[in-house]
Structure 1
């Protein structure tokens, strides 16, 4: 059955900005001992007071930094009183339980931790990147994530280059992206970590291996959940960043909430541009000898431009809805293509473009005294992608043009326009059986219909029918069910999860120039699969816990892997899902309130790994390739010292190797490292935080971050050619240097200064201070030293 939702696109133009501080907020829920919400409970923090809603939720804004007396009371329950500490730039999320009058006060508990800290300590492990705390820095999301343990972001070039995240060695389509728990596939390249500003997000949650059921996906290696910045109250925030290579980034976020908290509306507008005209070493052919000579050349056709906007209106805190949110998001991007996958041939006119308008509707409601929660999301959009390669000539690395009689700089001329009509439905239901037991259910439905046109494209054999005009389809459904249970006075938390996957697809198998396309090339396929996972966390002390997980799961082929991308990736409807067994074990402890230590290990065994492999130049195709197994570990340290300083460091080592290859010509690959995958990287950083530098109310933060990446290899190499030493960390591999991506050292430094008024921040950063040669996948060179300056302004008023 084909599902479609047609939604009216409504764009709200804000006519006023009555503004309020959003960073000084205390929120939470009040329950009784059985977990039932206590509506109308009174919550007092110092001189600020409010009344809890029917679901037990309360919110207090503009709470100053410092110590406050917290008093919570409700009819029939013993009043609770304690002292809480409100830190600067931190929202507190409290969970408060009140006892009946006949209970003693000592049995009342309060847990006060920020949402970011709660995310870090959940049973299913997540590396949490707190973007809110560094939103005034002149840095990027990819740089922030690369400082995290076990996470590696590789980006093809400068600003706007397509990012690929590696988590414990698994990468590409095995890692799924979400926005507030909703799969992000439908937004294409318009909403991703390569172009989003820090201001767009509250935090980033990077899950390794096992995913919570609330993230409905067939991810194999993990997932990235982009948590939107909270828009409580009313505010307006603007920023502008200027940097090297003609880089400009600016944006506005604004919101207004009525005093009765029944309505809110807002908008986000972001713009990015960079010429990305840095220098890189490329092979330039000597006209006299015809030999390649490596020279430092400027990237002259490498620019990126991106615009993103979203407007929303919320109806909230009603009897029939806790939140009903209508949102319309739109983006447009243009990306110049300087070279193919490898930095071999120069291009001077090839362009890629993408755009969409995506309306969505989200509904949230708690029922049965808060025991039952419903979260429903729906969206429909038409994602349009274009590729333009019609130049009657070619460029060399000097930017000089040579005309020719045939179109296209690459071997595949194109003037294509692809339409992907996408429907996404997501249902999440939670039921609190009692104070220690809950059930969760999640359902994701994705339907994609793709067609297009290309006057330079393939034709169906013996006809004038454009092969791209023939519709390809992709449909995926994922069901998830979880049982959460607390034991031993809540010291032990168990999550048992099961998932069911169904997908179907249809399309044309052969669509590259050297192969004729006939009716016999039409394909249809479908499949059903099961997955199961178990996650445990045991709290040894209030400041220490261990957690572990086991998982057996599948990863379905994605539509780009099946359809190709109409550029150099050709379709493959013979792909099988990947399947994997994953295990992890970790320990975390806070020592003396200053030192946080976390150590984790993992084991993976994956069969039928889907990799992009070359076929007939310049084409490539996703194919089921090697089986991979291995293990790894990481260590993360964070230490606060001398009042004003924080020292951080982490290191990740992983040993992922091929196995089970029986073909006689490829058996030598058994026990070889997984190609194009880093196996060791480390970070170190120090930050200082000083107040009252030039005035009573100003603040200065200075930071330095260092990143090391051990050499890795573009292709599979024999194990006896690998470097020696402890864990393979010394020496070099005995291979051609063009196959080696060498050791890399990245040093960034900067500062942020908050003016005494509190509403203006200045940030500056120097990236790649040492001006080292840096590389990402396929040995594409990244920018050298660059300078960035950022000005942020927040206008706020209580309301």
Structure 2
């Protein structure tokens, strides 16, 4: 059956099917010219002015000028002249008449004059896409990366700065990580790139591989996820958006730093506006020795296994390398499509392990893994009057190799001895192994949004995910892992209705999702006999979002969802390294609620202030949790877990000169299961172990001068605090003797210098400035002080 499914002709048909469907209805719509208006806002001394609103009267479109005074309003459909208006605190409102010239994009610059601020005018100005998303009923943070692209940072480091998000890593670059969102973590949070799910993409395409200058925004949905993402997310979703531009550009970055770290990226596009086509290449490379110093690690005698004390030593077998190339070609502004593209992605990595991800007692000197991912995808976008359609299809193959073939034993002192010839053990497994796991994936999605009128909107979505997994061990002849293919298939259907009254003060949206899940799982029992199980797990979810503007400064929002999260392939099938299979694993379901308050005002002529406060509750049944058993483990269901908490933050900004951001999160995640297999649960009402419950971030930035000719100099200071938490259940044993992950306080400094209006950029970053010993997991240290230098060239 599986071989038939993946025959080339049928596979190609499945990829093209969503586009065949939507292409059949293109006769119902007419193509109209779409133009982009962009420009720059400056004062009489030619200094850029950020934070001013530029909008088009009557078209409900606009943007806000960024730190460089630049703005861009895209996808403007108009056959007649219109007025472009700009206004903001402390400046006179201006308006210019714009006459579209066919499909030619326009540049409109403004020189602002000081003047009185008319509050009534400010209420009708256009907003950036990011600000419009923040004002929806969803509990969503939008992280804009335009001020971070010159810095030596990746997506994970950016996400760590937002409220409600905590990321724990097991080492340096390329190490395993666990992202928690309002107390829910792992696969309870879904990840997307431009709306395409990243599930089972392979270890070389994880978030900590992507440098920040390859992306534009990061959308963080907490608890309630829109149907457009087609996600079975229990705790929320993270959607990474890249820039879609109808012009040529080139963005090249390179970072070098501590621990022999090198990171490079190239993001370039050639676009022909007259003929309506583009070709784009996106790529990155990463390498690090990860040879940072470890303190107080245990040393064991290799002959007898006796403990000989703790030592300080540098890591020796932690190198990591990865690379990705994505090539995309497409058309835009055609009668049959606003945008249609085909892309090919290839990524690779190699990761050396010095120890398991959950302890440091066992030391490796050869154990490593490799990944090889190949993906082919297509996307389609088209608006037919009131109907907007988007679709994609993706197919590919992901190969993960786990190589444990060494006959040597190692310790932290770098010593090694060879095992006896009759000893078949590897460094991790009872038998030496070279396991290759192959996933074949096919995904497709389609969304349609129909705007009935300015008050009513309907939407529908379809998302499908098919994965088949097989494996071969080239060394262990007795291994049966994944020798018989297993597969899982997941389909999610969604529908929503949104009502917006004429006053625009409030809005409500209701939605429903249907989850369909089936599969065939093949495992082995204790006698190495194959056991085949068919699974069929389907259910329904539903929810709503609402928002209300109370006056000019306050916005209230509320959202609710009965969410489901279906088991992932590595949770139910195992991963061939540390995770054992569990075909009995059930889907998680949760009742998620959010209440939020946003406040925005201008304190004085040049000061802006905004703040957010949110409370949340997650009541989850059949909660999926990883249960460690030595270096290995298995995912299991916990009957009932409740997560409650509060998070808040603020931003204060003085023109483009200085800014301060801060946020904090408190979360209480407890086991609400009263009975466990008929017996009283001794952990009832106890905090789930090994999960942080209080953390906070702050970031201060200052720009001493900002001149196009002389350059732009910026300094940033960031700090992060995580309060201590127990490794095991809090109510078992004595608090004085239990293992604790200690409180963490770290500081980072960054300096950035740009020339020629952002064409040439240089930055210097110092992470963990005070060289503290920091942990995300028990006794597994993260890097100490690290220094990175980055250069970036931007041509657009």
| Structure 1 and Structure 2 fold alike (TM over 0.5) | yes
- Does 1:385 find its partner at 2:397? no
On the 8 A contact 1:132/1:202 being kept in 2, the answer is yes
Query: Residue 112 of structure 1: SS of its match in structure 2?
Result: coil
* 1:156 counterpart = 2:170: yes
Aligned residue in 2 for 1:564: 574
Whole-Å separation in 1 of the counterparts to 2:73 and 2:59: 19
2:484 to 443, 467, 470: 470
**Shift, 1:484, TM fit:** 1.2
After superposition, the Cα gap between the structure-2 partners of 1:749 and 1:430, relative to the gap in structure 1 and judged at 3 Å, is same
Q: Quick one: which of 541, 544, 551 aligns to 1:541?
A: 551
Deviation at 1:117, TM superposition (A): 2.1
In structure 2, the gaps of 5 or more residues are: 14-28, 43-47, 82-94, 96-119
Paired position in structure 2 for 1:656: 669
How much does 1:81 deviate?
13
Does the 8 Å CA contact 1:570/1:619 hold for their aligned counterparts?
yes
Aligned to 2:493: 479
Counterpart for residue 230 of structure 1:
244
Aligned: 1:313 with 2:329: yes
| TM-score, structure 2 as length reference | 0.85
In the alignment, structure 1 segments of 5+ residues that lack a partner are 9-38, 40-52, 461-465, 722-732
**Residue 441 (structure 1) shift:** 1.0
Matches within 5 A, 1:700-739: 700-718=713-731, 733-736=735-738, 739=739
SS in 1 for 2:340: strand
**2:372 pairs with 1:361:** no
Q: Deviations over 1:597-648 (max 9, x none)?
A: 1100011111111111134x44311111252113110110101137611111
Give the corresponding residue for 1:325.
341
1:270 maps to: 284
2:391 to 376, 385, 402: 376
Aligned to 2:429: 411
- Is residue 95–residue 112 contact of structure 1 (8 Å, CA) maintained in 2? no
In the alignment, the residues of structure 1 paired with residue 445 and residue 698 of structure 2 have an alpha-carbon distance, to the nearest angstrom, of 40
What is the rounded CA distance, in whole Å, between the counterparts of 2:394 and 2:529 in structure 1?
35
CA distance in 2, matches of 1:468, 1:766: 45
Match of 1:338 among 354, 357, 372: 354
Given that 1:350 and 1:389 are in contact with CA atoms closer than 8 Å, whether structure 2 keeps it comes out as yes
From 68, 74, 78, give the equivalent of 1:88. Answer: 68
State the Cα distance separating 1:261 from its structure 2 match.
5.9
User: Given the superposition, is the C-alpha separation of residues 120 and 84 from structure 1 closer, same or farther in structure 2, using an over 3 Å criterion?
Assistant: closer
SS at match of 2:371: strand
How far apart are the structure 2 equivalents of 1:85 and 1:132? Answer: 12
Question: What does 1:153-552 align with in structure 2 at a 5 Å threshold?
Answer: 153-260=167-274, 262-281=276-295, 282-285=297-300, 290-291=306-307, 293-340=309-356, 341-367=358-384, 369=385, 371-404=386-419, 405=421, 406-412=424-430, 413-457=432-476, 459=478, 466-487=480-501, 489-510=503-524, 515-519=526-530, 521-552=531-562
3-state SS of 1:609 partner:
strand
The change in CA–CA distance for 1:554 and 1:82 in structure 2 (over 3 A counts) is closer
Q: How does 1:582-597 map to 2 (within 5 A)?
A: 582-592=592-602, 594-597=608-611
Alpha-carbon distance in structure 1 between the residues aligned to 2:655 and 2:123 = 32
Q: Which residue of the partner structure matches residue 104 of structure 2?
A: none
Other structure's SS at 2:147 match: helix
Give the Cα separation in 1 of the matches to 2:711 and 2:168: 37
Going from structure 1 to structure 2, the CA distance change for 1:757 and 1:588 (only over 3 Å counts) comes to closer
Partner deviation per Cα, 1:304-347 (whole Å, 9 max, x = no partner): 10001111111110011111111111100110011112111110
Relative to structure 1, is the Cα distance of residues 594 and 99 closer, same or farther in structure 2, using a 3 angstrom cutoff? farther
When normalised by structure 1's length, the TM-score is 0.85
2:602 paired with 1:577? no
Superimposed CA distance per residue, residues 179-205 of structure 1 (whole angstroms, 9 cap, x where no aligned partner): 111111142223222110011110111
Match of 2:107 in 1: none
**Deviation of residue 674 (structure 1)?**
1.2
SS in 1 for 2:204: coil
Across the two proteins, how many residue pairs are aligned to each other? 721
- Cross-structure match for 2:753: 753
Query: Displacement of 1:164 after TM fit?
Result: 1.5
- Shift in Å, 1:433: 1.1
Correspondence for 1:633 among 636, 639, 646: 646
Equivalent residue in structure 1 for 2:37, among 48, 56, 60: 60
Deviation at 1:99, TM superposition (A): 14
**Contact 1:554–1:578 (8 Å) recurs in 2:** yes
